């Protein structure tokens, strides 16, 4: 297939693009390589993708409608994976407009191009953050997700609703994937694993929010990317048995679905830190801090639907995933 992958220089986008290229697909990457975090890391990911003959990257911001429209018109991708977004819960408190520009306006531009091109299937990133402070664990797609506690989460929930509207109006098949705390080699420097590893190697204290009482459904990057590719290969169909008198959040009479994609086995944050300590051979000095605004205490994914429909079974445990990241980090930074 010819697949357009937005956010191709990003953590998840680069790995998804790599899997598609390895199986012989043609990939058009779209990324503006912005400075939210170190652009050199993004450039290094693109360089790895560039060894494949089937890859080319376009320097485009998805919020910029005309260049994106021109790219769709020229490239005519059969399927689209939208992983470009302004990520991060905490940064949304500082720069909210960046989230509307990228996650709402940018996603609208994606939908409009899929509409006019007649795209076979749009797969896009949502987030576990849409569940807000839901205490009903594990989070299931059958449950509501209409009480976000951060603007980031609100914009990603908006993506799900926008995709449904375009499915209803124009028949665009779309699947939203609610990612649960992705980690691993080539990860984002603003995420805990990267921050903890860097600070521990530098002999600095690590910031531990919620006094270390967090639990997270940490999901290894290869498991996430493999799930994305599986989903991409099969577009959703309208549910013929959908009952408008008893609507449910996880299905629809239009070609639209949302799924959780996570490990399904939440881990205490302190266990995660201990795994880093074990691999580095360093005892962490911890700066215990309160729960941050917009953050949630725990996440846990019910991935039953994804397993049932796509045979998705994540296979990487935290100890092994952390070890792989630390080995990559030492090699990449020469430490």
Q: State the DSSP H helix or E strand holding residue 275, giving kind and residue range, or none if neither.
A: helix 269-280
Other C-beta atoms within 10 Å of 298: how many? 19
Question: How many CA atoms are closer than 13 Å to the CA of 20, on its beta-carbon side?
Answer: 31
Closest to 131 in 3D by CA, of 279, 266, 313: 266
Q: For residues 233-255, b (16+ Cβ closer than 10 Å) or e, as one string? A: eebbebbeeeeeeeeeeebbebb
DSSP characters over 37-51: S-HHHHHHHHHHHTT
**pLDDT reported for residue 298:** 87
Q: What is the model's pTM?
A: 0.96
Per-residue DSSP letter, 196: H
Question: How many CA atoms are closer than 13 Å to the CA of 309, on its beta-carbon side?
Answer: 22
Residue-level length of the chain:
335
**pLDDT reported for residue 87:** 85
Other C-beta atoms within 10 Å of 51: how many? 9
Over residues 292-309, the mean pLDDT reads 90
Residues 6+ positions from 260 with CB-CB distance below 8 Å: 128, 139, 140, 141, 177, 178, 180, 301, 302, 303, 305, 306
Q: State the DSSP H helix or E strand holding residue 12, giving kind and residue range, or none if neither.
A: helix 11-22
**What topology is assigned to 2-180+221-264+301-315 in CATH?**
Rossmann fold (3.40.50)
Residues catalogued as catalytic: 152
Over residues 30-40, the mean pLDDT reads 95
Delimit the domains of the chain by residue range: 2-180+221-264+301-315
The confidence band for 89, taking pLDDT boundaries of 50, 70 and 90, is confident
Instruction: Please write the tens of the pLDDT for every residue from 224-267.
Output: 999 999 999 999 999 999 998 988 888 899 999 999 999 999 99
* Lowest-pLDDT choice from 2-6, 9-13, 244-248, 314-318: 244-248
């Amino acid at each position: 297939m010819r697949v357009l992958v937005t956010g191709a220089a990003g953590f998840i986008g680069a790995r998804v693009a790599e899997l598609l290229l390895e199986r012989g697909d043609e990939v058009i990457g779209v990324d503006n390589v912005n400075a939210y975090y170190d652009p050199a890391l993004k450039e290094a990911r693109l360089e790895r993708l560039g060894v494949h003959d089937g890859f080319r990257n376009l320097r485009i911001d998805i919020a910029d409608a005309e260049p994106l429209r021109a790219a769709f018109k020229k490239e005519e991708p059969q399927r689209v994976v939208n992983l470009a977004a302004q990520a991060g819960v905490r940064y949304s408190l500082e720069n909210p407009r960046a989230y509307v520009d990228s996650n709402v306006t940018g996603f609208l531009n994606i939908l409009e191009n899929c509409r006019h091109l007649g795209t076979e299937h749009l797969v896009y990133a949502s987030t576990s953050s849409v569940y807000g402070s839901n205490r009903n664990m594990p989070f299931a797609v059958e449950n509501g997700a209409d009480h976000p506690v951060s603007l980031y989460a609100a914009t990603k929930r908006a993506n799900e609703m926008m995709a449904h509207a375009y499915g209803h109006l124009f028949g665009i098949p779309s699947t939203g994937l609610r990612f649960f705390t992705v980690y691993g080699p080539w990860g984002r420097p603003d995420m805990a694993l990267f921050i903890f590893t860097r600070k521990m190697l530098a002999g600095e204290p690590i910031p531990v929010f919620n006094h270390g009482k967090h639990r997270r459904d940490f999901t290894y990057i290869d498991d996430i990317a493999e799930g994305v590719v599986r989903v991409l290969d099969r577009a959703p169909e309208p549910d013929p048995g959908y009952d408008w008198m008893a609507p449910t959040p996880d299905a629809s009479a239009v070609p639209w679905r949302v799924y959780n994609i996570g490990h399904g086995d939440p881990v205490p944050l302190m266990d995660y830190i201990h795994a880093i300590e074990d691999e580095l051979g360093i005892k962490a000095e911890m700066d215990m801090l309160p729960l941050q605004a917009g953050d949630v205490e725990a996440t846990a994914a019910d991935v039953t639907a994804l397993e049932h429909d796509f045979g998705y079974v994540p296979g990487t445990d935290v100890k092994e995933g952390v070890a792989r990241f630390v080995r990559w980090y030492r090699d990449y930074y020469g430490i």
